[in-house]
Amino acid sequence: QKEVEQDPGPLSVPEGAIVSLNCTYSNSAFQYFMWYRQYSRKGPELLMYTYSSGNKEDGRFTAQVDKSSKYISLFIRDSQPSDSATYLCAMSGTAAGNKLTFGGGTRVLVKP
């Protein structure tokens, strides 16, 4: 079993819909949680960063962390065709040398 599980998709939604993405993990030491967006043939760009449990909102994006369930989510409101990309979750522990562990990514298609 992988340490971080993420549904590969593709997830296809109509423009304006809410996109819901999630990852589950098994390592209870993870404290930092990130979402990256990756367009085709480009490097990943950091979208959201949260520490421990709770919600964080930034514009159309909301990240949620439920440590008790070892489950994180990313919601994209009012989705646009430009949101079509692969979304990667990543997480790590608290030690300075801790490496990031990535999910496999979910491909999202927002249709006009």
Partner 1 sequence: DGGITQSPKYLFRKEGQNVTLSCEQNLNHDAMYWYRQDPGQGLRLIYYSQIVNDFQKGDIAEGYSVSREKKESFPLTVTSAQKNPTAFYLCASRSVGQSGNTIYFGEGSWLTVV
Query: Which residue, 23, 30, 14, 2, is CA-closest to 106?
Result: 23
Binding segment toward partner 1, per CB under 8 A, in 12-20, 59-67, 76-84, 94-102: 94-102
1-20 residues in contact with partner 1 (CB under 8 A) are: 6, 8
Lay out the sheet containing 61-66: strands in order across.
4-6, 19-25, 71-76, 61-66, 54-58
What is the 8-class DSSP label of residue 76?
Answer: E
| Cβ nearer to partner 1, comparing 13 with 104 | 104
- Part of the chain binding partner 1 (CB under 8 A), chosen from 11-19, 56-64, 69-77, 99-107: 99-107
Nearer to partner 1 among residue 62 and residue 101 (C-beta): 101
